[in-house]
Chain A
Amino acid sequence: MRNGQGPIGKELMEYPIQISHLNKNFYSKPPWCLSAIFSLPLKKIITACDGINLTIRQGKLLGLVGPNGSGKTTLIRILATIILPDSGSASINGFDVVKKGLEARRHIGLVTGENKNFYIRLTGRQNLEFYAALYNLSKAQMKEKIKYLANVFELSEYLDNMFQENSQGVRQRFALARGLLNDAPVLLLDEPTKNLDPQMAQRVRTFIREELVKKRNKTVLMASHFLEEVSDISDEIAILDRGRLKAQGTLESLRRQAGDPSADLKEIYDFFIAT
């Protein structure tokens, strides 16, 4: 497998995810005929990323929290090269996501927050095989990988069901498996434990923490609404509100910033989001 060494010096590789001064506005336009007739404003501006600066050290997990619509998914999509930023820059393993999108994509594993994005008329196995082929896995690697991931996420009995028969949680587990197929050094996880039952969620957390981060040294950006989960497995935490980073650091340093050395993440979150 690739181990994700980019072309750039070792000091850069220390931070596989680098984001600097990143801005993204969305302009939602009302249909032009309506705006012409009713003289509605031509554009409504939504700020999804507002001067974001963030770096994640190799082999560390950063938990990203923030209210609905604060820009977590947008940030992940920019890193996954699905959305282009307005200004500022971001890089994956030293590859700029705008200028070197293809190379950047070689180094990411993406688990989208949406678990419906599978081909529902295919089986889970066929879905995974399709993606594995696009990730250039050989037949043998493919087989081995799918077997391994099915074992990790307890998917064996669902592999050959038509995908549309699967429940929400099982779909989510397939989404996790798909994101890990290419064994990428950088993982972008958008609400990875959404819809999972408590035991499975715990299993996934342990797997991310122990296997992916500690053992395999992956660099992970994980967006989540489960504050306990975030404080449980993150090395660092970032709090996002209306596109702005309100605070970033270890739980310890966030406590200091919030001025309460015994606060839990919920209290810290309330402190930063209220202000």
Chain B
Amino acid sequence: MRKIFSFIKRDFLIDTSYTISFCIRWVGIAISVFMFYYLSGLIGGKGEGYLLKYGGNYFSFVLIGLVAASYLDSAVNGLINSVSREHWSGTLEPLLAVPMKTMGIIFSLGAYNLMMGFLAAGFFLFLGAIFGADFSSANLLSVLVIGLLATVSFLSVGIGAAACIIILKKGDPLAGTLTNLMWLLGGAYFPVTVFPQPLQKLAMFLPSTYVFEGLRLAFLKGYSIGMLQDILVVLAGFAVLLFPLSLFVLKKAIRYTKKRGTIVFA
């Protein structure tokens, strides 16, 4: 635990040493909230048919999508980016010689970004509330449970992706594109129902679809755990399936690169 905290502290110090970039990120969040606020004003009631299920307001609808997508992005890409950074700065060698499990080291590398993703999500919601999104009927327990299952599922995706990075060394722009696609098709910005049939089918296989759907129903319509049963079962399925799989893949990737002697290479 203390070791994970050391990683978080280290990454915080590095992150804030780029003062301007650190500040701009928060401004960026404000800008996107602002943008979607006016966009939703422009749309007005036009999409109501699609949005009725979520209370009919596009701003509230898209805000939850943005919050979830940015948080999940920090779980997936946060880990990939920090592993890459470690490769490119050549700092993995002394790190791998400390008395920690190699798996534990890789996890800890993602901790700070996940935490920042969580804070950013909070900031998103806060700004959203200021701009008039209505969370008064939110069911917090449901939000929490979905958030937890989503975190496990997408950390698993991140761990799997990190395993690829450990072997391939460079994942962008592929990783970024794939995750963006996952947010888009999962319905972060529009309800999945606006897509043509084949894409809707595809969306059914993405965990993101269930996270967005579940979070919206919980946040905007106050659905209880019982009412969200179907979604929770699917999400739990993803978590139970993906987590051990991702650990297995990471273990293999570490072993393979330790054998090849390339684990510390960029």
Residues of A within 8 A of B (CB): 24, 26-27, 48, 74, 77, 80-84, 86, 101-102, 105-106, 108, 110, 112, 114, 116-122, 126, 130-131, 133-136, 162, 178, 182
Contacts and interface: CB of A to CB of B under 8 A. Distances in A.
9 contacts: A74-B261, A102-B101, A110-B94, A117-B92, A117-B94, A121-B14, A126-B10, A135-B98, A182-B99
A80 B94 CA distance: 9
A135 B97 CA distance: 10
Contact of A77 (B100, B255, B261): B261
Contacts, number: 88
A57 to B, nearest CB: 23
A30 B119 CA distance: 44
Nearest to A109: B97
Nearest to A120: B89
B90 interface: yes
Contact of A130 (B10, B97, B258): B10
Task: List the 7 closest A-B pairs by CB distance, nearest first.
Answer: A133-B6, A106-B99, A110-B97, A134-B98, A121-B17, A84-B258, A105-B99
Contacts of A110: 94, 97
Given A83-B259, A105-B99, 16 more contacts: A26-B261, A74-B261, A80-B96, A81-B97, A82-B263, A83-B263, A84-B258, A101-B102, A110-B97, A112-B93, A117-B89, A119-B91, A130-B10, A131-B94, A134-B100, A178-B94
A83 B255 CA distance: 9
A114 B100 CA distance: 21
B90 A117 contact: yes
Interface string B50-78: 00000000000000000000000000000
B10 A108 contact: no
Contacts of B93: 77, 82, 112, 114, 117
B17 A82 contact: no
A121 to B, nearest CB: 4
B6 A130 contact: yes
Main secondary structure of the interface of B (DSSP, over half): helix
A185 B94 CA distance: 17
Interface in B1-51: 2-3, 5-6, 9-10, 13-14, 17-18
Contacts of A112: 93-94
Contact of B6 (A27, A86, A105, A134): A134
B155 interface: no
Contacts of A116: 89-90
A114 B90 contact: yes
Interface in B199-248: none
A121 B18 contact: yes
Contacts of A74: 261
A261 to B, nearest CB: 40
B79 interface: no
A128 B84 CA distance: 22
Contacts of A102: 99-101
B89 A82 contact: no
A118 B258 contact: no
A118 to B, nearest CB: 7
Given A26-B260, A82-B264, A119-B89, A131 B98 contact: yes
Q: Which of A81, A117, A122: most chain B CB closer than 10 A? A: A117
B260 A27 contact: yes
B91 A118 contact: yes
Interface string B97-128: 11111100000000000000000000000000
Contacts of B89: 116-117, 119-120
B48 to A, nearest CB: 49
B37 to A, nearest CB: 35
